[in-house]
Amino acid sequence: MTDTADFPITLFSFGYKYEPPQDVNFLFDVRFLNNPFHDVELRSFTGLTAEVADFVLDNSSGKECLRHLEATIRFQAKELQSSGREELRIGIGCTGGHHRSVAVIEALARLLKKDFPTVKYYHRDISRESH
């Protein structure tokens, strides 16, 4: 069995309204998840806050999304490393890159870091505009 602990995985959030990235192995669209932008009390926050993360992820769609993404990323990391690739880059997008994709990246990074200590993550568009 291949040891994937040192296989670099980079995760990042982005907003589709700023164009999807080109330098990735996979893009995932999470615009189907609950959108905090439509809640006046949550709009000005980002997916870095617990209230927004709970709004996005603490429901059946959010939990199922995380479960599938985590399994897919784990499988791809193992397969890509076995085939000689040097890294896995994954972009996860929502409309503006402030709420849903940020919450998903934060949660995924926590889940994956248990077995992949080289996981890196960032939020490409989180500060592109004020809310």
Is the separation of the CB atoms in 124 and 83 below 8 Å?
no
Is beta strand 120-123 parallel, antiparallel or unpaired with respect to 26-29? Answer: unpaired
* Residue-range definition of the domain harbouring residue 112: 9-123
| CA proximity to 62, closest of 22, 83, 35, 39 | 35
At 15-64, the pLDDT tens digits run: 999 999 999 999 999 999 999 999 999 999 999 999 999 999 999 999 99
Cα atoms found within 13 Å of the Cα of residue 19, Cβ hemisphere only: 3
**Confidence class for position 70, pLDDT limits 50, 70, 90:** very high
Residue at 1 is within a domain: no
Residue at 2 is within a domain: no
Residue at 128 is within a domain: no
Can you give the pTM of this predicted structure? 0.93
Count the domains in the chain: 1
